[in-house]
Chain A
Amino acid sequence: MRVTQGTFSFLPDFTDQQIHEQVQYCIDNGWAVSIEYTDDPHPRNTYWEMWGHPMFDNPDAAAVVYELNECRKVYGSYYIRIIAFDSSPGWESIRLSFIVNRPSEEPGFKLSRTEVKGRNIQYSITPYSSDKPQGSRYK
Chain B
Amino acid sequence: MPDGDKKLDAKARYSAGVLEYKKMGYWEPDYLPKDTDVIALFRITPQDGVDPIEAAAAVAGESSTATWTVVWTDRLTACEKYRAKAYRVDPTPNNPNEYFAYIAYELDLFEPGSIANLTASIIGNVFGFKPLKALRLEDMRLPVAYVKTFQGPATGIVVERERLNCYGRPLLGATVKPKLGLSGRNYGRVVYEALKGGLDFTKDDENINSQPFMHWRDRFLYCMEAVNRASAATGEVKGTYLNVTAGTMEEMYKRAEFAKELGSVIIMIDLVIGYTAIQSMAKWARDNDMILHLHRAGHGTYTRQKSHGVSFRVIAKWMRLAGVDHIHAGTVVGKLEGDPATTKGYYDICREEQNSVSLETGVFFDQDWASLNKVMPVASGGIHAGQMHQLIHYLGEDVVLQFGGGTIGHPQGIAAGATANRVALEAMVYARNAGRDYLAEGPTILAEAAKTCTPLREALDIWKDVTFDYASTDAPDFVPTTSVS
Contacts and interface: CB of A to CB of B under 8 A. Distances in A.
Interface of A: 1, 3-5, 7-12, 18, 21-22, 25, 41-44, 46, 84, 89-98, 108-111, 119-123, 125, 127
Given A21-B435, A43-B235, A121 B430 contact: no
Contacts of A18: 430, 434
Interface residues of B, number: 38
B296 to A, nearest CB: 25
14 contacts: A1-B234, A3-B234, A4-B234, A4-B236, A7-B169, A10-B198, A42-B235, A43-B231, A43-B236, A44-B165, A111-B228, A122-B263, A123-B224, A123-B263
A90 B353 contact: yes
Contact of A5 (B224, B235, B371): B235
A116 to B, nearest CB: 9
A44 B423 contact: no
A78 to B, nearest CB: 14
Interface string B117-144: 0000000000000000000000000000
A129 to B, nearest CB: 11
Which are the 9 A-B pairs with shortest beta-carbon distances?
A96-B168, A3-B235, A7-B168, A123-B228, A111-B232, A25-B433, A109-B232, A21-B434, A97-B167
A111 B226 CA distance: 11
Contacts of B231: 43, 109, 125
- Classify the secondary structure of B's interface with A: helix
Interface in B424-446: 426-427, 429-430, 433-435
Contacts, number: 103
Given A8-B430, A41-B235, A93-B161, 10 more contacts: A1-B234, A4-B235, A10-B423, A11-B423, A25-B433, A89-B353, A98-B168, A108-B232, A108-B233, A109-B232
Contacts of A10: 198, 419, 422-423, 426
B237 A11 contact: no
B482 interface: no
B173 to A, nearest CB: 16
B419 A25 contact: no
Given A10-B422, A25-B434, A46-B165, A93 B235 contact: no
Contacts of A90: 158, 353, 371, 374
A21 B165 CA distance: 22
Nearest to A124: B228
B430 A5 contact: no
B194 interface: no
Given A7-B167, A10-B423, A97-B167, A110 B232 contact: yes
Contacts of A11: 423, 426-427, 430, 449
Contact of B235 (A25, A91, A109, A121): A109
A96 B234 CA distance: 19
B48 interface: no
B479 interface: no
B168 A97 contact: yes
Most buried by A among B168, B169, B422, B426: B168
B8 interface: no
A94 B353 contact: no
B371 to A, nearest CB: 7
A120 B262 CA distance: 7
Given A25-B435, A93-B158, A8 B426 contact: yes
Nearest to B423: A10
Nearest to A3: B235
A119 to B, nearest CB: 6
Nearest to A21: B434
A8 B349 CA distance: 29
B374 to A, nearest CB: 8
A89 B430 CA distance: 25
Contacts of B162: 93-94
Nearest to A91: B158
Contacts of A41: 235
Given A93-B161, A119-B221, A125 B232 contact: yes
Given A11-B449, A109-B235, A125-B232, A4 B427 contact: no
